[in-house]
Structure 1
């Protein structure tokens, strides 16, 4: 894949610069994002605190809510292990805030992804598909640290991502809302 590497400061601006739809395919078994470390540790200890206590996450939920109020759609499919990893359990716990903000969350087991042909075809990188015309490909190391993000506009690559998105959405399950206090 050849695209333009995005500076860390560009990522958020490019991600939120869409007119109608933003879709993310998540393929990693875990992510190591410094901003989430304390929240994840508290969750694993059994003493979780709302993600809205973390500035970046609170801003994410606020931005999602703004996009949805403008009539935009934000959706993701998370391909997960069975049983889910500790991090994937954490993600599922976080769903209630994503759903409240207006994001559509979907899940598919890794086995199901292989059965329907999404994997290994879609590769091992996560990506955001914006307005079915641009991709932000997210590259990670083996431990889950994000290495860099790449903006891809090659029509053939984007069309293939649209096909994978449709396949993932068709064969995944909607996350159920959890009504616990946020």
Structure 2
């Protein structure tokens, strides 16, 4: 059972989940217009707090609101080795997400591959009941997605969520996130 994922659909899922929202984030870059100025400033060595950017501030307000209600928002970011400029910005800007109540963990792409995580598409899992599968171009442009409620597919993603959390770290230092030697 799948339906096309629109921005409004996602916002409804995000606002109304009751206990947990988890994202597996696997793209090396995302082409998000509202982030460009912050990324450019970061790369120039002159970053301003992301709270000064309306798009990001609104996201953080939403995170604060749902986590204040006792709901959990968590993500695992899969980083290339070395991280892309975009991922370096994400590691820096993640401090604001964490301060708002989101839990962010990291793992290297090679570790994700070694443990069998699917690393083609990003996804959000809401209350272990609904999956928002998101697709992106190689340049990070959103290509849409779908909402999936099929229990078998959702159950597999719950297992991958647990696997991702178990093999990731709250520390973004990918040198320590590389696969362990046999």
Structure 2 length-normalised TM: 0.90
- CA distance in structure 2 between the aligned counterparts of 1:11 and 1:98, rounded to whole angstroms: 19
For the pair 1:45 / 2:41, whether they are aligned, the reply is: no
- CA distance in structure 2 between the aligned counterparts of 1:139 and 1:114, rounded to whole angstroms: 19
Aligned to 2:32: 33
8 Å contact kept, 1:6–1:148? yes
Aligned to 1:55: 54
| Alpha-carbon distance, 1:123 to partner | 4.3
SS at match of 2:30: coil
| Alpha-carbon distance, 1:114 to partner | 1.5
- CA distance in structure 2 between the aligned counterparts of 1:49 and 1:27, rounded to whole angstroms: 25
> CA offsets, 1:22-73, max 9 Å, x none?
0000010111101101111111111111111221210111111111111111
| Alpha-carbon distance, 1:11 to partner | 2.3
8 Å contact kept, 2:13–2:126? no
**Structure 1 runs of 4+ off > 4 angstroms?**
none
> CA offsets, 1:88-141, max 9 Å, x none?
0000001110110010000000111122222xxx24010000000001111111
| Alpha-carbon distance, 1:142 to partner | 1.0
For the pair 1:69 / 2:65, whether they are aligned, the reply is: no
Q: Which sits farther off after the overlay, 48-57 or 132-141?
A: 48-57
- Structure 1 residues 65 and 19, CA, compared in 2 at 3 Å: closer, same or farther? same
Task: Output aligned runs, 1:64-143, within 5 Å.
Answer: 64-118=63-117, 122-143=118-139
8 Å contact kept, 2:29–2:86? yes
- CA distance in structure 1 between the aligned counterparts of 2:128 and 2:43, rounded to whole angstroms: 37
8 Å contact kept, 2:94–2:104? yes
- Segments of 5+ residues of structure 1 without an aligned counterpart are 177-182
Determine which of 146, 153, 158 is the counterpart of 1:157.
153
- CA distance in structure 1 between the aligned counterparts of 2:169 and 2:147, rounded to whole angstroms: 28
| Equivalences, count | 172
8 Å contact kept, 2:113–2:119? no
| Alpha-carbon distance, 1:158 to partner | 0.2
SS at match of 1:83: coil
SS at match of 1:174: coil
8 Å contact kept, 1:95–1:175? no
- Segments of 5+ residues of structure 2 without an aligned counterpart are 173-182
Q: Please give the root-mean-square deviation of Cα atoms over the aligned residues, in Å.
A: 1.3
